[in-house]
Amino acid sequence: MASDYTVGDLVAEFLAACGVTTAFGIASVHNIPMLDAIGRRNTIRFMMARGELGGAHMADGYARVNGGLGVIFSSTGPGAANAIGGLIEAQFAGSPVLHITGHTASRHADREMGTVHDPMDQLGMMRSVCKSAYRIRSAQGAIGVLTRAAVDALSAPMGPVSIEVPIDLQRQKIDRPAILDNFVLPLPTPRTPTASELDELAARVMAAKRPLLWLGNGAKNAGKEAARLLDLGFGMVTSWNGRGTVPEDHPLNLGGLTGNGLPMVTDFYKTVDLCLVVGCRLRGHETGDFAVTLPENMIQIDTDPAANGRTYPSNYFVTGDSQATLAGLLSRIEGKLEVAPGYTDEFAALKRNAQSEFITTLGAYGTFSDQLRQVMPKDAIWVRDITQNNTTWGNRVFPIYNPHQNVYPVGAGIGQGLQLGIGAAAAAGDRKTVVMSGDGGFFLNVGELWTAVQEKLDMCVIVMNDNGYGVIKRIQDATQGRRFFADLQSPDLGKLAALSDIPFFKVQQAEAFGATVAKALAIKGLTMVEVDMTAVGEFPPYYPFNLLPKR
């Protein structure tokens, strides 16, 4: 008897076997067989985005919170192209996003024959923005290509991977692969450095008296080991994407205060005799395009050998998994490392003073971080867009307690926060999701608000409304001395919320921010809070703009 099992069924069953329970995207002519299989199986929740760009960001936000694959389905050609912005952000963030797109029939592909959505070299387009990209070229090879793609996405350094499934192959009947009965993704074992590498690493660390630990996104799995290093006397700082790996209420964790624009911190770096960098690129975004002078004695641990010397030079480099390498280091130095007397007290004082000094530069908005932290659940997911508020207190001083709470546009693209938040909320379970956006970013993709409405997500959207692109105005002030094309006329947010009966609150005084958000957070489901920045007051210049002479 002929099988009714198709490659579309295989795609649906494969995703479920990989632990995928939620996927995002849009149904279209070149993915209907796959989505039909997902619908019939009813084991994966499919969240309908309003556009592929939004869906890709949702898959990214989901992956960051969930820790597993984020899946986005798009159509071919224009649909796949629409997803590219979200895939670029996933690449910036190191998110394991699996992009599954259709294609025209195999016999027509790449021949410029004018079929529906006919793309020329779609695979090349996807390769240019993803970690890797594949086309399924035969029904028999589908399971192998799917497996390879998922392994690529989930292997360090993680990133987005795209798969093309031509429409004729999606419909092709095959025998169900027996491998799916007890399927386990063949993920590579993370590298543990050799004993001699760990011995050398330990010797260099034990020679330090004033050590600093710098963690990035690649060290998110090493929180317990990092905390043990703080117990031994290390001070700590993180990239913005590595925040929360050790809870940021720890007195020796500076969090996102990397020193960019804070002479107090960079002066302290001069007294540090070892900087241990783990799973971090030391990005120009956080170091003022590498203007921040870091301690000369730098040791780097990274799973990617190409990280060696990519931004700052290191005196010793170890290729290895962050958790395994730090565990091996700790077994060699615990009870033996002797930091300078008073060093940890100095570092704790540095954190207190640096935070205080930074907050004083924010004018009326200096209390917003503390107000929000007091009313926001400790386990809530904290999602942000590119705004003046996030560039300052959101990224740097708002306390985060777990790395999977921390979601923001790592590539600094505007208008991504709402969609990242929708994906995060889909993965959050019983936890609340809080999204902070500016009005410019919010209205860039406002249509996705109705995805959150339709899916009945538990999230509070805070819109910092200054009627324009505030960040752009700062850059224009600094580089041109004048402003063009940065003022916006937007719909009334209260009326917009009323269209779908979204509970709406408005803040017009700085001291009312926390109490107003608390009212929104008390409601189960989607809520919106507008902060009228015109009423609260103009956001003050922040680094580097607060260092420039007035023009």
Look at the domain 361-547 and name its fold.
Rossmann fold (3.40.50)
Distances (CA, A) of 162 to 16, 300, 351: 18, 31, 42
Measured from the Cβ of residue 11, the count of other Cβ atoms closer than 10 Å reads 26
7-17 and 32-41 helices cross at what angle (nearest 10)?
Answer: 50
**The pLDDT of residue 1:** 40
The predicted-structure confidence for 480-526, as pLDDT tens digits, reads as follows 889 999 999 989 999 999 999 999 999 999 999 999 999 999 999 99
The least confident of 22-36, 267-281, 421-435, 533-547 is 533-547
Retrieve residue 32's tokens: 């209907």
Residue 436 and residue 389 in contact, taking contact as beta carbons nearer than 8 Å: yes
Residue 397 and residue 257 in contact, taking contact as beta carbons nearer than 8 Å: yes
Residue 372 and residue 398 in contact, taking contact as beta carbons nearer than 8 Å: yes
Residue 89 has pLDDT above 60, yes or no: yes
The predicted-structure confidence for 26-83, as pLDDT tens digits, reads as follows 999 889 999 999 999 999 999 999 999 999 999 999 999 999 999 999 999 999 999 9
Indicate the SS3 state at residue 441.
Answer: helix
Residue 233 and residue 172 in contact, taking contact as beta carbons nearer than 8 Å: no
Could you tell me the sign of the dihedral formed by the alpha carbons of 108, 113, 118, 120, in that order?
A: positive
The predicted-structure confidence for 425-483, as pLDDT tens digits, reads as follows 999 999 999 999 999 999 999 999 999 999 999 999 999 999 998 888 888 988 888 99
| Distance in angstroms (rounded) separating the CA atoms of residues 19 and 14 | 9
The structure tokens 């991504």 sit at: 416
| Distance in angstroms (rounded) separating the CA atoms of residues 62 and 308 | 30
Please report which confidence band the pLDDT of residue 550 belongs to, taking 50, 70 and 90 as the band edges: low
Residue 103 has pLDDT above 90, yes or no: no
Backbone angles phi, psi at 119, to 5 degrees: -100, 145
Average pLDDT of the segment spanning 343-349: 98
Residue 2 has pLDDT above 60, yes or no: no
The structure tokens 């050790």 sit at: 246
| Distance in angstroms (rounded) separating the CA atoms of residues 95 and 158 | 6
Residue 275 and residue 295 in contact, taking contact as beta carbons nearer than 8 Å: yes
| Distance in angstroms (rounded) separating the CA atoms of residues 291 and 398 | 24
| Distance in angstroms (rounded) separating the CA atoms of residues 454 and 448 | 10
- The pTM of this model reads 0.96
Residue 332 has pLDDT above 50, yes or no: yes
| Distance in angstroms (rounded) separating the CA atoms of residues 423 and 86 | 12
Indicate the SS3 state at residue 238.
Answer: strand
Residue 375 and residue 514 in contact, taking contact as beta carbons nearer than 8 Å: yes
Task: Identify the architecture of domain 195-354 in CATH.
Answer: 3-Layer(aba) Sandwich (3.40)
Nearest to 193 by CA among 334, 309, 330, 326: 326
Strand order in the sheet with 316-319: 235-238, 211-215, 274-278, 298-302, 316-319
Average pLDDT of the segment spanning 172-185: 95
| Distance in angstroms (rounded) separating the CA atoms of residues 211 and 203 | 13
| Distance in angstroms (rounded) separating the CA atoms of residues 508 and 305 | 51
Residue 257 and residue 265 in contact, taking contact as beta carbons nearer than 8 Å: yes
Q: What is the DSSP string of 5-67?
A: -BHHHHHHHHHHHTT--EEEE---TTTHHHHHHHHHH--SEEEE-SSHHHHHHHHHHHHHHHS
Domain ranges, ordered by start, for the chain: 7-182, 195-354, 361-547
How far separated are the first and last CA of the chain, in Å rounded?
Answer: 81
* DSSP-derived secondary structure letter, 253: B
Burial of 501 from C-beta contacts in 10 A (0-12 / 13-18 / 19+): exposed
The predicted-structure confidence for 383-421, as pLDDT tens digits, reads as follows 999 999 999 999 999 999 999 999 999 999 999 999 999
The overall average pLDDT reported for the chain is 95
Nearest to 219 by CA among 200, 195, 246: 246
The top-level CATH class assigned to 7-182 is alpha beta
| Distance in angstroms (rounded) separating the CA atoms of residues 225 and 322 | 9
Indicate the SS3 state at residue 111.
Answer: coil
| Distance in angstroms (rounded) separating the CA atoms of residues 471 and 354 | 23
Indicate the SS3 state at residue 466.
Answer: coil
Residue 452 and residue 73 in contact, taking contact as beta carbons nearer than 8 Å: no
